[in-house]
Chain A
Amino acid sequence: MKEDVNHKKVNRAVQYDNLEAMARYLEKMAKDGWMLEKVSSSTQFHFVKSEPKELRFAVEIFSEGSEFDTHTIDSNLEYVEYCKKAGWNFICSAGKIDYFYTEDKNAPEIESDPKMKLQAIEKAQRPMKLIFPILFICMGLGYLAMQLTMNLNTMETSFFHFSGMLLWTFAGTLYAVQLISYLIWRGKARKAVKNGEKVPANKKNFGFYGAYAFILICGILHSVITVWVGLQYQETIVFMIPFIWIFILLLVFLSYGLSSFAEKIKMGRTAYKVISMAVLPICFTAILTNIIIIVVFSMNGERDSRRRIDAMDMKVFGDSEVFVRHEGSNHHWGHFLLCFDQYTLEAHNADREKMLKDENYQKTGVYQIPDGEEHVPVTYTWHFDVYQTGIPAIYNRILKEAKAGKDYRMLSIRFDYDKAVREPALEVNGITVMTYEENYDGDVLYRYLITDADTIINARCDEALTADEMTVIEKSFMR
């Protein structure tokens, strides 16, 4: 579309519940010498320079039209004929809306029955202002339910979960505000119409288009960042996130589909009442649950881990070496925090019993270390997985505290020397470092390096040792 001295393009959101404002705007433009020429993509208004004129504009909902109409449909043209007969000149149609103008000050209003006018507005608003927010909020609740049934330990620490929940809370709140505002206006409008008054304009607009775009952008950014983070840790589940956002886009179409279905089966107004009555509790529950989860879990995170450590009743880190290693897995990305201590079989079994009572811990196989072999430097050795986070600040804090000897929550005990095969791995300062291969059904799962300083390094058998690992090994051997 050309834009020169004679043409002008203006972007303006059309609000079904305040079409009057649009009509007044078009009148003002005509008075200033800009006549509406056409409307494209529902929000882009094309004006052409003309004689300044006092005109009357009408912006009307054509109920049989659809937001997805690409041209003026036949029944709309019939409707236009009716309006022409009453003195209204048709300019164009865009989606469900038809634009008319007239010079005749006495031309009757196109929609002369306020009750029918309100019905048309409600029908047009239904997909985006009623059904979409409800679907969105339900999806948010589903997302939360998913989070709650997953491992609670992952809740507040993971970047993916935490940012996702923030985003859902934000979006949910926006939609709830919009929904409540709409319902309030609808109540007022119905009352006004019942009293024989005109349909009042809804002047409180909570920036629907802006908010929607903002959420979408945030969602896409969230996806990109999470996928990027996921790539760092070879995490596969994060690739699902963009699909959630694609699904949200599909929700728009789903809203329209459900809306026309409701129309088809003649749910009528009683059903809407039920829906709207259910909406408020759903919104509040969603927001409250979100807030409670975020607040409680972030506040209780430390207490929570203390409880677990209490159950373990042991000092994990002490003065021993701490080594953190990144590990990608199918279920979470984590860093294996390895620490090593003297530990008796009795103590281990007692702790193991305690740990297995907690459903968050995964079951471990029976643990046994070959006795009497001179190359095993400690009697019993133990290592812990510590669930880690993608947020660097938290990650660094954990590292710092771990080095300071603080206790940590533990998620699993992976210790199975049953099928361990011992092999020399490398030589440092003249000492041969042996590895223990952990086999399972013939596959090598892990390879442990056992040093002479009570240090075990969990080395994945399919990866070479990193420079950091080498440093630790060298450090241990030089002590």
Chain B
Amino acid sequence: MARAKYKTLTEQMFYILICLKTECCGIDIMEMVAEMTDGRVVLGPGTLYTLLGDFMKQGFIKETAVEGRKRSYVLTDSGRDVLKEEYERLKAQVVDYERNMP
């Protein structure tokens, strides 16, 4: 059931997972997402914190290092799959759009 929640990722989840393709500190993700999307996607710190916890529980990401209160994470294979699925879904949407809306 919990997994079903991540069947379609929200934009925020999507970008968090992308940021974690290489190991990075959780707290830096906010800035990374803002840069990556030119400020289009705003990621609240509370949302980020909660989602990182959820992703850990789901096994989409794993903790790599703890420095004081700063934790670093990296995407797992399962996380990659989820991201890939979402990418495929979005791609299919784009294809459908282009086919039907000339």
Q: A108-116, A279-287, A361-369: which lies at the B interface? A: A108-116
Q: When the two chains form their complex, are residues B44 and A110 in contact, meaning their CB atoms are under 8 A apart?
A: yes
Tell which of A79, A82, A85, A266 has the most Cβ of chain B within 10 Å. A82
Specify which chain A residues have a CB less than 8 angstroms from the CB of B10 in the assembled complex.
113, 115
- Is A268 interfacial (CB-CB < 8 Å)? yes
B-contact bits for A108-137, CB 8 A (1 contact / 0 none): 111111011000100000000000000000
Q: When the two chains form their complex, are residues B30 and A113 in contact, meaning their CB atoms are under 8 A apart?
A: no
Q: When the two chains form their complex, are residues B50 and A110 in contact, meaning their CB atoms are under 8 A apart?
A: no
Pick the residue among A110, A115, A266, A270 that contacts B46 (CB under 8 A). Answer: A110
- Is A60 interfacial (CB-CB < 8 Å)? yes
- Is B27 interfacial (CB-CB < 8 Å)? yes
Shortest A303–chain B CB gap in Å is 56
- Is A408 interfacial (CB-CB < 8 Å)? no
Report the separation of the CA atoms of residues A77 and B55 in the bound assembly, to the nearest whole angstrom: 20
Shortest A270–chain B CB gap in Å is 8
Nearest chain B residue, comparing its CB with the CB of A108: B42
Q: List 29 A-B contacts (CB under 8 A).
A: A77-B69, A78-B69, A79-B45, A79-B49, A81-B27, A81-B69, A82-B30, A82-B46, A83-B45, A85-B30, A86-B45, A108-B42, A108-B44, A108-B45, A109-B42, A110-B44, A110-B46, A110-B47, A111-B44, A111-B47, A112-B12, A112-B43, A112-B47, A113-B10, A113-B44, A115-B10, A116-B50, A120-B50, A268-B2
Q: When the two chains form their complex, are residues B30 and A86 in contact, meaning their CB atoms are under 8 A apart?
A: yes
Specify which chain B residues have a CB less than 8 angstroms from the CB of A64 in the assembled complex.
53
B-contact bits for A89-120, CB 8 A (1 contact / 0 none): 00000000000000000001111110110001
Q: When the two chains form their complex, are residues A78 and B49 in contact, meaning their CB atoms are under 8 A apart?
A: yes
- Point out residues on A near B: beta carbons under 8 Å: 60, 63-64, 74, 77-79, 81-83, 85-86, 88, 108-113, 115-116, 120, 266, 268, 270
Shortest A87–chain B CB gap in Å is 9
Specify which chain B residues have a CB less than 8 angstroms from the CB of A108 in the assembled complex.
30, 42-45
Report the separation of the CA atoms of residues A79 and B53 in the bound assembly, to the nearest whole angstrom: 11
Q: When the two chains form their complex, are residues A116 and B69 in contact, meaning their CB atoms are under 8 A apart?
A: no
**Chain B: how many interface residues by the 8 Å CB criterion?**
22
Pick the residue among B1, B26, B42 that contacts A82 (CB under 8 A). Answer: B26
Tell which of A64, A77, A85 has the most Cβ of chain B within 10 Å. A85
A-B contact count (CB 8 A): 65
- Is B70 interfacial (CB-CB < 8 Å)? yes
- Known contacts A60-B46, A79-B45, A110-B46; 19 additional CB pairs below 8 A are A78-B71, A81-B27, A81-B70, A82-B27, A85-B31, A86-B30, A86-B45, A108-B30, A108-B42, A108-B45, A112-B42, A112-B44, A115-B10, A116-B47, A116-B50, A116-B51, A120-B50, A266-B2, A268-B2
Nearest chain B residue, comparing its CB with the CB of A61: B46
Q: When the two chains form their complex, are residues B45 and A113 in contact, meaning their CB atoms are under 8 A apart?
A: no
Q: When the two chains form their complex, are residues A85 and B45 in contact, meaning their CB atoms are under 8 A apart?
A: yes
- Is B56 interfacial (CB-CB < 8 Å)? no
Specify which chain A residues have a CB less than 8 angstroms from the CB of B31 in the assembled complex.
85
In chain B, residues 1-60, which have Cβ atoms closer than 8 Å to a Cβ of chain A? 1-2, 10, 12, 26-27, 30-31, 42-51, 53
Nearest chain A residue, comparing its CB with the CB of B13: A113
Shortest B35–chain A CB gap in Å is 14
Shortest B27–chain A CB gap in Å is 5
Specify which chain B residues have a CB less than 8 angstroms from the CB of A83 in the assembled complex.
45-46
Q: When the two chains form their complex, are residues A79 and B46 in contact, meaning their CB atoms are under 8 A apart?
A: yes
Specify which chain B residues have a CB less than 8 angstroms from the CB of A60 in the assembled complex.
46
User: Closest 3 A-B residue pairs measured CB to CB?
Assistant: A112-B44, A82-B45, A110-B46
Report the separation of the CA atoms of residues A85 and B27 in the bound assembly, to the nearest whole angstrom: 7
Specify which chain A residues have a CB less than 8 angstroms from the CB of B49 in the assembled complex.
78-79, 82
Pick the residue among B47, B53, B70, B71 that contacts A113 (CB under 8 A). Answer: B47
Nearest chain A residue, comparing its CB with the CB of B48: A82
Report the separation of the CA atoms of residues A266 and B43 in the bound assembly, to the nearest whole angstrom: 27
